[in-house]
Structure 1
């Protein structure tokens, strides 16, 4: 079960402490039921509210050995800010934190607890089940899920800063990807009032494992630890290398946009990286693998080379999917990021296909 909702760090693993059956978060107690997953110093538990054992949640525990100076701490706080950032949209398509707290430990370290909704299945779980059982999604179901994901990304891609304050005044240096301490204005795609008003964010790691299905069947975007400002003008090789390193750590390779493989100096990085990932996700919904994983499995191709060249193919067996649906994949997987459709355009086309069926 894929319920890892967030943080990939560069820290060495440690042994989770579950000797205490209850965890207190802002005076609310939760009983630890089991460990769901782990990564680095991050652990995700299934917990139940002490006063209501039927109320289940996912509790992320993040150990930060070096306190506030720890990179793990900065990443975790960035993740929490992202939950809050999109909360005002009240969209059901982006996960929101329920509660969180930071504990100052006696040894100077910090422990962060983030209480999140508990989802039983991810889109990847369903795709895996389809592959194992030789089953396929109905096109209507694929479109329904795709439309929901697009609605979630719409909120990120059209995010506006409140009050028009400069980014540097809002403590958002983490969203500059820490490009070797570069000043925010040096790496912005544009400057001035417009940037302060409209500041698109990109998820950066769109893939089936990061789309959970709610009890109502709605797709929910999770893992906001990789989410950051979408638009960057890369003006130096140092910035290019920093963004390449970020992508290697946070953006899953089979779904990574080609412009993030080896970021070029004087390039423009935008929210279109998410659109490429959407194309890979849509292909995976249809055929069980991302397009470049499929090429690697069948032909032993290098993932990096295949992605860089945009080299993929639709299977001979189209499984009855319409040309309209398959064309959405092709439009997303355009090597030229300036020619990829926007999420608004994808949403309009997907709704049009849904209405025809």
Structure 2
């Protein structure tokens, strides 16, 4: 029987190795309790520490081709994202606790990332409300939305210097971080065009050469997959942005059709369709995609908090509309009498869902507007 279990464990990556239901990180054993979710080559388990019986989420990523594996490069980028925003001390963005990379005898690699465990997501709350034909109070919606905006503000206003490296990543994986990532390690791997690389453009922006490189520069990052399922609720009731695997430099210059197709493929794989911005559905050359994609997703999320579904999911459910077409046309409907919510809240949704990204508010403007609405609601 033990032989059969070992064979199953090695042949089926989603099947836990029941003969060794522990993962050891820095001399601490974590017992696997159950599988929480899976996707592609990654699996998330609920685990319990042998030291204090605390529960955590353990993400396991299998990389069959080792350091040359695209999955491996993405996992290193994800680890860097968990540490990137650490210095801000924000409770609204998830941070990893520990990581370990194991080199297997067959040349493959396995990445383990220990994360906080949250019992429920914003999607769980919305699903429960829909099942009970109930709705979320506007006060609660505003509280959650303000927290999400605060987390996203850290990403969109991220500043770095040209000399910054992966020093925030633990020494145990620093070598892997340096050796496994490309020149565009923090962004998307778009085919280069012209004498200057995309990375140089993104790092230096429009700053004149005379500006000292040690000065901080604004290098916005975008989450790219804002949706209720990627917002967990902490024990303190705060919304926490999770799943930073899609997080990358926000501003991407599209110079040719090849780059446009590369970004479209990325969006199709990483950006959930009902929450995906229209500029990611049909990327055009000679354009720039920015952090405003997250603002569109925020509008969809806010709508879902109010009415149970993304505006384009709701249109599909009620009218059989094609989601992609509805998004590209910016077509959605508000329920009669705004579903009982204030016109000011509906206006925030409408502002986020502008087809032209330049007409959408910044996250700072959204935060200011929402806080003001929340204050007025309390009066």
Instruction: Give the alignment's TM-score, normalised by structure 1.
Output: 0.92
> Could you say which residue in structure 2 is the equivalent of 1:8?
none
**Offset of residue 317 of structure 1:** 4.3
> Could you say which residue in structure 2 is the equivalent of 1:296?
316
Cα distance in 2 for partners of 1:228, 1:268 equals 14
Say whether residues 1:184 and 2:198 are aligned partners: yes
The answer on whether the counterparts of 1:13 and 1:39 sit within 8 Å (CA) in structure 2 is no
SS of equivalent residue, structure 2 residue 335: coil
Alignment CA distance shift 1:268-1:166 (3 Å): farther
Say whether residues 1:200 and 2:198 are aligned partners: no
Deviation string, structure 1 residues 11-37 (Cα, Å, up to 9, x no partner): x98343332121101211111111111
Cα distance in 2 for partners of 1:174, 1:243 equals 15
RMSD: 2.1
Say whether residues 1:229 and 2:249 are aligned partners: yes
**Offset of residue 318 of structure 1:** 2.1
Say whether residues 1:26 and 2:26 are aligned partners: yes
> Could you say which residue in structure 1 is the equivalent of 2:280?
260
Deviation string, structure 1 residues 96-149 (Cα, Å, up to 9, x no partner): 000000011111111110000000000000000000001111101000000000
Say whether residues 1:52 and 2:63 are aligned partners: no
The answer on whether the counterparts of 2:198 and 2:253 sit within 8 Å (CA) in structure 1 is no
The answer on whether the counterparts of 2:60 and 2:110 sit within 8 Å (CA) in structure 1 is yes
> Could you say which residue in structure 2 is the equivalent of 1:131?
130
Deviation string, structure 1 residues 241-290 (Cα, Å, up to 9, x no partner): 11111111110000000000010111121100000000000000000010
Alignment CA distance shift 1:156-1:203 (3 Å): same
**Offset of residue 224 of structure 1:** 0.2
Alignment CA distance shift 1:141-1:257 (3 Å): same
Alignment CA distance shift 1:165-1:116 (3 Å): closer
Larger CA deviation: 18-27 vs 104-113: 18-27
Question: How do residues 55-74 of structure 1 correspond to structure 2 at under 5 angstroms?
Answer: 55-74=54-73
Alignment CA distance shift 1:314-1:13 (3 Å): farther
Show structure 1 runs of 5+ residues with no match. Answer: 1-11
Alignment CA distance shift 1:77-1:165 (3 Å): closer
The answer on whether the counterparts of 1:187 and 1:235 sit within 8 Å (CA) in structure 2 is no
Deviation string, structure 1 residues 137-173 (Cα, Å, up to 9, x no partner): 1101000000000000000000011465599x99662
Larger CA deviation: 172-181 vs 214-223: 172-181
> Could you say which residue in structure 1 is the equivalent of 2:152?
153
The list of structure 1 runs, each at least 4 consecutive aligned residues, that deviate by more than 6 angstroms after superposition, is 193-196
Deviation string, structure 1 residues 273-318 (Cα, Å, up to 9, x no partner): 0000000000000000100001111111111110000000101142
Cα distance in 2 for partners of 1:49, 1:202 equals 33
| Number of aligned positions between the proteins | 344
SS of equivalent residue, structure 2 residue 92: coil
Cα distance in 1 for partners of 2:12, 2:321 equals 32
**Offset of residue 51 of structure 1:** 1.6
Question: How do residues 200-219 of structure 1 correspond to structure 2 at under 5 angstroms?
Answer: 200-219=220-239
Deviation string, structure 1 residues 197-239 (Cα, Å, up to 9, x no partner): 1100000000000000000000000010000000012111111
The answer on whether the counterparts of 1:185 and 1:191 sit within 8 Å (CA) in structure 2 is no
Cα distance in 2 for partners of 1:71, 1:99 equals 22
